Amino acid sequence: MAKKQKKAKPARAKAAAKKSRKVVKLSSKKANGAKKASGNGKSNNLPRPSTKPYGQDGKALTGVRILDFTHVQSGPTCTQLLAWLGCDVIKVERPGIGDITRGQLRDVPNADSLYFTMLNHNKRSITIDSKHPQGKRVLDELIKTCDVLVENFAPGALDRMGLTWEHIHKLNPRMIVASVKGFGPGPYEDCKVYENVAQCAGGSASTTGFREGPPLVTGAQIGDSGTGLHLALGIVSALYQRIRTGRGQRVLAAMQDGVLNLCRVKLRDQQRIEKGPLTEYSQYGEGVPFGKSVPRAGNDSGGGQPGWILKCKGWESDPDAYIYFITQAPVWEAICDLIGEPTWKTDPDYATPKARLPKLKKIFARIEDWTMTKTKFEVMEICNKLDIPVGPILSMKEIAEEPSLRKTGTVVEVDHPTRGKYLTVGNPIKLSDSISEVKRSPLLGEHTDEILRDVLKLPAKDIAEIKGSGALSAPKKEEKAA
Ligand code: CAO
């Protein structure tokens, strides 16, 4: 394509540009003035830039203490992330039982499960019976010293423990109380919710899968882990606002809302479908009429650039010998050359994205003839050189063994005293001045004494008294039976 000639600027535009340059000069003068006061650049009331090497001046959230009442997956995802970012996370667990996932899907007898260990790194554990009078006393003291309380109990459970917003806020007006619930206020607000319920209620299941098949849930835990991520952002924002207002607030992330947020493009399509067919869906090319709501679109790309999953060499025996192939418009000519269809570059039936839409099935079948002659990694190598976006379908085995993911700390090997070495996913968010180390999850109640002594500064006599009351330990068998 011919390059556009630069147009000569009219006199007025030249004057305006000169003026704006002048403004830049003025503000840079101000910045130099501020440099004297704050060390470098504009101060914005910030301290002077640290002179310590990057990664050696604490962590992003150092100094923030979290009272972590979370269990199962959604809440623990959130607090694990905050722990990686530097928070001191104190996980409160029921004596004798702890987070129910400690014992779920166990692969090593009598050791904490991978379900638990992989969601609770970098935390401390204290056991407290939150319904015991002495346990309540300890919790009240912890509320006074923590910045954030995070919970994902069933609706009403926190209130039933006596930990209402009013009670917490009276003890500590600065405390942020963050909750995951299945649904926001409305007809379903009292429901207990797990991952797949949220995927269904948030619009994911109805739009996932193949048109001819039933709704499908996805393996990515968008309901649990996705909502945990949303909650973490809410907490960090509330912490930032608290710097200005001095007071805490409630943060709610409902799983239905979180899933819907991730399904935003499908609500986009719902509104488009009312105005005409969704031409980028392969259903359109196949001549299948659209109904009233967004259909399941199989492996269609969901964006403006058509894509599909194609077989690669070895697909007959390897269930993951596939590649995602995107026929991005700017590289169409390279695709045609690659698959041996050079005439498609100029043929009016294929040359434009619009002309290709009704023929996507045929086009992808032709591309697949080519991908089936190569392994998914060969396709990746060839296509990337040509700027053609493709993605190999990686199995979990391949991901676990991928050296580059180990190198970045995205996949980490952790040692654990009762279960030995295991693999986990490290912090996916990389900060250059707040580097995450992945520390093993705590044993049940491992830090009970340490927290009473070092966080609450309780004297040994008081600790002994609280322990003697039974507030921190599981009821003995006879008591349970009584
Ligand atoms: N001491 C004493 N009691 C404790 C305690 C402690 N340290 N920790 C928890 N408990 C009690 C709670 O007070 C509650 O008792 P009540 O029902 O008498 O008030 C009880 O344990 C059970 O809590 P729960 O109802 O939250 O747990 P559940 O296993 O029945 O339900 C779940 C689990 C996840 C469905 C529900 O917590 C929920 O809907 N949470 C919100 C949505 C959510 O996060 N879902 C994602 C889960 S991950 O897939």
Question: How far is the C-alpha of 262 from the C-alpha of 264, rounded, in Å?
Answer: 5
341 CA to middle of ligand 1, Å? 60
224 CA to middle of ligand 1, Å? 15
**Is residue 217 helix, strand or coil?**
coil
**Is residue 240 helix, strand or coil?**
helix
Q: Is 152 near ligand 1, meaning CB less than 6 Å away?
A: yes
91 CA to middle of ligand 1, Å? 14
477 CA to middle of ligand 1, Å? 23
* pLDDT > 70? residue 463: yes
Give catalytic residues, as residue numbers: 224
Q: How many residues are given for the chain?
A: 482
Question: How far is the C-alpha of 319 from the C-alpha of 340, rounded, in Å?
Answer: 27
Task: Mean pLDDT check: name the lowest of 111-115, 301-305, 327-331.
Answer: 301-305
pLDDT tens across 50-92, in order? 999 999 999 999 999 999 999 999 999 999 999 999 999 999 9
- pLDDT grade, residue 302 (50/70/90)? confident
Q: Is 193 near ligand 1, meaning CB less than 6 Å away?
A: yes
Q: Is 182 near ligand 1, meaning CB less than 6 Å away?
A: yes
pLDDT tens across 168-224, in order? 999 999 999 999 999 999 999 999 999 999 999 999 999 999 999 999 999 999 999
The pLDDT value given to residue 479: 55
Residue nearest to atom 6 of ligand 1 (CA): 94
Q: Which atom of ligand 1 is nearest to the CA of 191?
A: 39
- pLDDT grade, residue 303 (50/70/90)? confident
176: alpha, beta or left, given left = phi > 0 and alpha = psi -120 to 50? beta
242 CA to middle of ligand 1, Å? 29
pLDDT tens across 247-277, in order? 999 999 999 999 999 999 999 999 999 999 9
The pLDDT value given to residue 478: 55
Residue nearest to atom 49 of ligand 1 (CA): 194
Which is more confident, 307 or 30?
A: 307
For the chain, what is the mean pLDDT? 91
Alpha-carbon radius of gyration of the chain: 28
Residue nearest to atom 11 of ligand 1 (CA): 157
Residue nearest to atom 38 of ligand 1 (CA): 154
- DSSP 8-state assignment for residue 453: I
Q: Is 254 near ligand 1, meaning CB less than 6 Å away?
A: no
Q: Is 101 near ligand 1, meaning CB less than 6 Å away?
A: no
Q: What is the dihedral of CA 252, 257, 263, 267, to 10 degrees?
A: -130
Residue nearest to atom 18 of ligand 1 (CA): 157
Residue 180 near residue 251, CB atoms below 8 Å? no
Residue nearest to atom 25 of ligand 1 (CA): 154
173 CA to middle of ligand 1, Å? 25
Q: Is 130 near ligand 1, meaning CB less than 6 Å away?
A: yes
Nearest 5°: the CA angle 425, 426, 427 is 125
* pLDDT > 50? residue 35: no
Q: Is 425 near ligand 1, meaning CB less than 6 Å away?
A: no
Q: Is 74 near ligand 1, meaning CB less than 6 Å away?
A: yes
Q: Is 72 near ligand 1, meaning CB less than 6 Å away?
A: yes
Choice from 192, 197, 225 to test ligand 1 binding pocket (greatest atom count within 8 A of CB): 192
Residue nearest to atom 31 of ligand 1 (CA): 154
Choice from 153, 161, 163, 472 to test ligand 1 binding pocket (greatest atom count within 8 A of CB): 153
Which is more confident, 367 or 41?
A: 367
**Is residue 391 helix, strand or coil?**
strand
100 CA to middle of ligand 1, Å? 9
Q: Is 144 near ligand 1, meaning CB less than 6 Å away?
A: no
Backbone φ and ψ for 386, nearest 5 degrees, come out as: -100, 10
Q: Which atom of ligand 1 is nearest to the CA of 131?
A: 2
Q: Is 157 near ligand 1, meaning CB less than 6 Å away?
A: yes
Question: How far is the C-alpha of 227 from the C-alpha of 229, rounded, in Å?
Answer: 5
pLDDT tens across 439-450, in order? 999 999 999 999
Pairing of strands 322-326, 390-392: antiparallel
pLDDT tens across 275-299, in order? 999 998 989 988 999 999 999 999 9
Within 13 Å of residue 47, how many CA atoms lie on the same side as its CB?
Answer: 3
Residue nearest to atom 10 of ligand 1 (CA): 94
SS (H, E, C) 345-375: HCCCCCCCHHHHHHHHHHHHHHHHHHHCCCC
Which is more confident, 305 or 8?
A: 305
**Other beta carbons less than 10 A from residue 170's beta carbon:** 10
Residue nearest to atom 47 of ligand 1 (CA): 194
**Is residue 56 helix, strand or coil?**
coil
